[in-house]
Structure 1
Amino acid sequence: MKIWAVAAISLFAFGALAPAVAADLPLYSKAPVAPVPALEWTGVYGGLNGGGGLGHACWSVVGLGGVAIDPAVGEGCHNASGGTVGAQLGYRWQKAHWVLGVEGQGNWADFKGNNVSLVLAPLNNRTRIDSFGLFTGQLGYTVNSLLFYGKAGAAVAHDKYDEFIPGVGVVSNTLSQTRWGYSAGFGVEYAFAENWSVGGEYDHLFLGHHGGDLASSILVPPGRTERIGQDVDIGLIRVNYRWGGPVVAKY
């Protein structure tokens, strides 16, 4: 009888303890967390770009027939607008969320504009920008597939200037200039695949004031020396392919 009593007490104690032990045990084991791939922007990249631009040019006469004019006589301003396509090549290096880079870019352009001279109407002064290049450094901040960056550096543009009378045509020799200055801009880029990215960019080119001689003609004597100030605003869509730079696994 004692044996049965001890057995009954033991069974009752075990039944009371079992739920408490079971409560401490997990119902199931969790699967390991899969690593999340994080884009690494480090590497050489290259690509194509396209968009539009607007050059603002102001002309002033600073010489007439070899004689200097001081102060200069303003002839007015105009915008030279149009499309552009080009290519870029660069290198980026990422440290944590920060990205440093250098880039060279070259573009063909077709920016044109003119205004009636305030001094020699109906003579029109015309500006044409047919190419430009940028050589810049970059500083950016990345959040996985998005890169926000600013850029600054040197700029160069090739310009052609001439004068015409509507209905008559060009009445002076064309003045061609390669103008150097500096640039500043910003952009955002999105990596839609492991090595491919697309983005938008804005750049402002500060090209300063440069002088040049426009030869005389029968219709517009004598020859003049012009001082032309110019800035250019450019908006671009860019597509890049990146070589190198692993995709890093993060947990």
Structure 2
Amino acid sequence: MIGVLEDPTQPFRKNSRRVAAAAAVVIALSAPAYAADLRLPVKEAPPPIPVFSWTGLYIGANAGWGSSRNCWDLVPPTPVPPALLGPEGCHDATGAVAGGQIGYRWQTGTWVLGLEAQGNWADLNGSKVSPPFPTTTNRSRIEAFGLFTGQAGWAVQNALLYVKGGAAVADSRFRYTDNATGTVLGAANDTRWGATAGVGLEYGFAPNWSVAVEYDHLFMPNRTHDFVSPAGLYAGTVAIRQDVDLVTARVNYRFGGPVVAKY
């Protein structure tokens, strides 16, 4: 009787099945790790960008140059012939100014509103020989001034363009002197209130520090003054028109205004 021979490839088929099963297990176990490798890396959120704010109380100093236009008119009851009454001409009083300012600003969006008080020492001097009295010289001097203003500005981050306006006060001295001796023949002092308007450009170079350049014009009203001699005697009446132009550089320190985080 002839026996049935075994298939000689049967062991190989069994081994192949075992290998395939093992491979399937390996693939199944490695699939999550492979899928994790395919995920895009997650980036961390960038740090917030600080946004400059103009809100807060500030204090600062300023210095610059000023020019005052002074026009004199000799008027009654000055005891001179009528032909000598009238204009005595105009002259400019120029010089340095220096002082300080304090204020508060509020920022909403790109708009900035504020209030400020400024006080300055001044040395604005000028003179002109009097046409009707050529042996005498008219002299004008501003020794101090103050500004009390409101502000409105437009900000782009740490750059601020603003306009300002309000009240102004100036402390002035007027003299006329003898040309030959320099002796004061008549004098009048004046503290004059008026109005002011100006414009400025300010730049924040650090979180709490800023620098600016500013122009201001002072509109001072006409005033009439009785001049008095050094002996206390009446020495004539003069109507004086006056205005002032100022250009100053400023530096400010702002206290604790908020810095808003922006992503």
> What range is the shorter-chain TM-score in?
0.7 to 0.9
C-alpha distance 207-215 of structure 1, shift in aligned 2 (>3 A): same
TM-score, normalisation: structure 2: 0.80
Amino acid at match of 2:244: V
Task: Give the CA deviation at 1:117.
Answer: 1.0
Task: Give the CA deviation at 1:239.
Answer: 0.7
Partner residue of 2:209?
A: 196
Q: Which runs of 5+ in 2 are unaligned?
A: 1-12, 21-34
Confirm or deny: 8 A CA contact 2:226 2:234 kept in the other structure. no
Supply the RMSD in Å over aligned alpha carbons: 3.0
User: What CA distance in whole angstroms lies between the structure 2 residues aligned with 1:216 and 1:242?
Assistant: 49
Partner residue of 2:23?
A: none
User: What CA distance in whole angstroms lies between the structure 2 residues aligned with 1:225 and 1:78?
Assistant: 18
Aligned mate of 2:141, from 125, 128, 134: 128
C-alpha distance 119-26 of structure 1, shift in aligned 2 (>3 A): farther
Q: Does 1:230 align with 2:242?
A: yes
C-alpha distance 91-237 of structure 1, shift in aligned 2 (>3 A): same
Of all paired residues, the percent bearing the same amino acid is: 48
User: What CA distance in whole angstroms lies between the structure 1 residues aligned with 2:129 and 2:145?
Assistant: 26
Q: Does 1:82 align with 2:95?
A: yes
Task: Give the CA deviation at 1:35.
Answer: 1.7
Confirm or deny: 8 A CA contact 2:177 2:186 kept in the other structure. no
Partner residue of 2:129?
A: 116
Amino acid at match of 1:82: G
User: What CA distance in whole angstroms lies between the structure 2 residues aligned with 1:170 and 1:137?
Assistant: 43
User: What CA distance in whole angstroms lies between the structure 1 residues aligned with 2:73 and 2:234?
Assistant: 16
User: What CA distance in whole angstroms lies between the structure 1 residues aligned with 2:121 and 2:140?
Assistant: 15
Q: Which runs of 5+ in 1 are unaligned?
A: 8-21
Task: Give the CA deviation at 1:249.
Answer: 0.9
C-alpha distance 239-167 of structure 1, shift in aligned 2 (>3 A): same
User: What CA distance in whole angstroms lies between the structure 1 residues aligned with 2:196 and 2:83?
Assistant: 30
C-alpha distance 163-193 of structure 1, shift in aligned 2 (>3 A): same
Confirm or deny: 8 A CA contact 1:89 1:105 kept in the other structure. yes
What does the per-residue CA deviation read over 1:219-245, in whole Å, with 9 as the maximum and x for residues that have no partner?
xx9731100000100011111111121
Q: Which has the higher strand share?
A: 1
Amino acid at match of 2:115: V
C-alpha distance 217-41 of structure 1, shift in aligned 2 (>3 A): closer
Task: Give the CA deviation at 1:72.
Answer: 6.0
Within 5 Å, give how 1:1-251 maps onto structure 2: 28-65=41-78, 73-215=86-228, 223-251=235-263
User: What CA distance in whole angstroms lies between the structure 2 residues aligned with 1:178 and 1:69?
Assistant: 29
C-alpha distance 239-205 of structure 1, shift in aligned 2 (>3 A): same
C-alpha distance 119-147 of structure 1, shift in aligned 2 (>3 A): same
Q: Which has the larger radius of gyration?
A: 2
Confirm or deny: 8 A CA contact 1:127 1:159 kept in the other structure. yes
C-alpha distance 144-26 of structure 1, shift in aligned 2 (>3 A): farther
C-alpha distance 69-99 of structure 1, shift in aligned 2 (>3 A): farther
Task: Give the CA deviation at 1:62.
Answer: 1.2
Q: Give the count of matched residue pairs.
A: 234
TM-score, normalisation: structure 1: 0.84
Partner residue of 1:18?
A: none
Amino acid at match of 2:190: Q
Partner residue of 2:9?
A: none
SS at match of 1:133: strand
